[in-house]
Structure 1
Amino acid sequence: MSESALTTSEPSSLATEPVRIASRKSELALVQTHWVMGQLQEHHPGLILELNTLSTQGDIILDVALAKIGDKGLFTKELEVGLLNGSSDLAVHSLKDLPTRLPEGLMLGAITRREDPLDALVVHERFRDYQLSTLPEGTVIGTSSLRRLAQLRHNFPHLQFKDVRGNLNTRLAKLDNGDYDGLILAVAGLKRLGKEDRIHQVLDPSVSLYAVGQGSLGIECRQGDGRILGLIQPLADAEATARCLAERALLRALEGGCQVPIGVHSHVQGDELHLTGMVAQLDGQRLIRDSQTGSVADAEGIGIALAHKLKQQGADEILQAIFAQARG
């Protein structure tokens, strides 16, 4: 564990003691966490922040596909231990990595404004004249996401797919070295790391629904910690919160985890929230997709209602088969 501290000079009524922030060590995680730290100091001049960086199981095990490791807190558990034992006061997560059921005593204190949640195609230079739909048969696309894999197999069965692990720079290096012809990555991560110029094509939601919570950051803290909740409240974004709560309610009601082929798309128009969800077989042969619209004030109810719709159409059957395969 390494620690660093940031301070500002002006006093604050809430800045009586340091706030200890837990983050993964990856470059993207640190960029995201430093953004949160900057926002906290902007809203609370004089606040003292201490950064605790840790490696999670998902960061350490890089030679096994994510789906084979298991998805219960793969990128979050170690940070949550620090919250529970009191060594950290809050943890910053990519919201898509945070399970929908949190350990007893912890809560999702704030969801930040959302970066573009869509997926993107990044290609080797020899394929720069192609779009995803025109790539030649046998083109090798790298992805570690079962959600992306199932949708791509459904829409582009002529392509080949290969698991890819490692941080963003590692994946891009593998692409540039010719290990892959293309990669599917999150637009948000590429933008946050200043790699937006590598985006070859942003995938339309009709092709690839994104991961629950993708593009937003989740700030986790202890339940009932009024001081921390007061500090992070200005970072909460109302629209992102409504959308992500609906998405997370859908995932929770489907009893899915991070490593299952469940995708979403949401948007808010006026007082209405529109949510689309998808569940697919791993081979892409069967894909169930539907939508639900309702009041922004009932975001979680919208997610639960959509989960019920998808279950009626066979989502439970698909997911149970996937879980049985994973156990066997």
Structure 2
Amino acid sequence: MAPTLRIASRRSQLAMVQTHWVRDELIRAHADLEISIEAMATQGDKILDVALAKIGDKGLFTKELEAQMLVDRADIAVHSLKDLPTNLPEGLMLGCITEREDPADALVVHARHSDKTLATLPAGSVVGTSSLRRLAQLRHHFPHLSFKDVRGNVITRLEKLDGGEYDCLILAAAGLGRLGLGDRIHELIDPSISLHAVGQGALGIECRDGDTAVLEQIKVLEHTPTARRCLAERAFLRELEGGCQVPIGVNTRFAEPDHSGELILTGMVASLDGLRLLRDEVRGPQEDPEVLGIALAQRLRGQGAGQILEEIFASVRPQA
């Protein structure tokens, strides 16, 4: 009997593109592997009239997929790693991290601003983003701009932009690229302006803890340099007790272009109004990336990050 693998996925267009890529790569590596996909809507997909931060982010885009694995209806779940909480349910583990695409944030503009950059947009221009991380950093650097929440999948957001509801959007460059919409990227936002989300640009494959047969199947997709970068970022976020919907940003890079040398981790915590923004950097051996993440979190806590986060949690408590 041929080996089988059952994948749980969100059913959004981007999620399915990502899941089909994982399926195709696994079949390429395991010619006899039979793979099925179960697509479903998560809580985050269903609630579109409330800002993400007001819903809460404990498994907002992952809980339903995880339930399928815990009741043995799926073997793995494919996630945008930035959506996967740093503390997973008992019995599940992060089994694999794929090679990262460009983790940068991207500016997408309405046609009327085709001659503008983020720095030259007129005062009052309406910027669409559902990310508190992007909101806080852009408010810090561009206080003259106006910001408006935007929900829905990437295509829906672009339709709202083109319909004139926004002057521009801030989206993940990786998602646009995977959807074949890279030509909509007007500007890649420099890390000096906007540090990206933890895990942005990488896929995380979650599985049951200790499922050696499945781990053996999916390990072919593991990209060690990406995994080390993302594990450092996730440790930083976990140590700060932050979630996907708080103004915490990161950037990781290696000292050498060939992914050798020290790992360098930059991190940021900001207030929602952008007036207070803490940013620092650590570097060290890449073989133990979580130590770097923890060290950076502790350094920023010493600079007041804890107080900023407590104020944010109090102001955006999830709705009952």
Q: Which residue of 1 aligns with 2:134?
A: 148
Q: Which residue of 2 aligns with 1:10?
A: none
Code of the residue aligned with 1:155 in structure 2: it is H
Cα distance between partner residues in 2 of 1:41 and 1:327:
43
Code of the residue aligned with 1:18 in structure 2: it is T
Q: Which residue of 2 aligns with 1:232?
A: 218
Deviations 1:267-310 (A, max 9, x none): 12323100000000000000000000011101000000000110
Match of 1:229, SS state, is: helix
Q: Which residue of 2 aligns with 1:257?
A: 243
Q: Which residue of 2 aligns with 1:191?
A: 177
Cα distance between partner residues in 1 of 2:140 and 2:210:
45
* 8 Å CA contact 2:264, 2:282 repeated in 1: yes
Structure 2 unaligned spans of 5+: none
Moved over 4 A (4+): none
Q: Which residue of 2 aligns with 1:324?
A: 314
Q: Which residue of 2 aligns with 1:108?
A: 94
Aligned length: 314
Deviations 1:177-235 (A, max 9, x none): 00000000000000000000000000000000000000000000001101000000010
Cα distance between partner residues in 2 of 1:137 and 1:285:
18
Cα distance between partner residues in 2 of 1:303 and 1:310:
11
Structure 1 unaligned spans of 5+: 1-14
Give the TM-score normalised by structure 2.
0.97
Cα distance between partner residues in 2 of 1:326 and 1:264:
22
Q: Which residue of 2 aligns with 1:129?
A: 115
Give the TM-score normalised by structure 1.
0.95
1:207 aligns with 2:193: yes
Q: Which residue of 2 aligns with 1:286?
A: 276
Q: Which residue of 2 aligns with 1:64?
A: 50
Q: Which residue of 2 aligns with 1:302?
A: 292
Q: CA deviation at 1:327?
A: 3.1
Cα distance between partner residues in 1 of 2:278 and 2:79:
29
Match of 1:99, SS state, is: coil
* 8 Å CA contact 2:2, 2:32 repeated in 1: no
Deviations 1:6-57 (A, max 9, x none): xxxxxxxxx7432100000000000000000011001111100010001000
Q: Which residue of 1 aligns with 2:149?
A: 163
Q: Which residue of 2 aligns with 1:6?
A: none
Cα distance between partner residues in 1 of 2:126 and 2:146:
5
Deviations 1:121-150 (A, max 9, x none): 000000011110111100000000000000
Q: Which residue of 2 aligns with 1:90?
A: 76
Match of 1:75, SS state, is: coil
Q: Which residue of 1 aligns with 2:267?
A: 277
Deviations 1:301-326 (A, max 9, x none): 00000001100000000001111122
* 8 Å CA contact 2:56, 2:317 repeated in 1: no
Identify which range, 151-160 or 269-278, moves more after superposition: 269-278
Over the matched positions of the two proteins, sequence identity in percent amounts to: 64
The one of 151, 159, 168 equivalent to 1:182 is: 168
Q: Which residue of 1 aligns with 2:26?
A: 40
Match of 2:65, SS state, is: helix
Code of the residue aligned with 2:275 in structure 1: it is Q
Q: Which residue of 2 aligns with 1:11?
A: none
Cα distance between partner residues in 2 of 1:164 and 1:296:
37
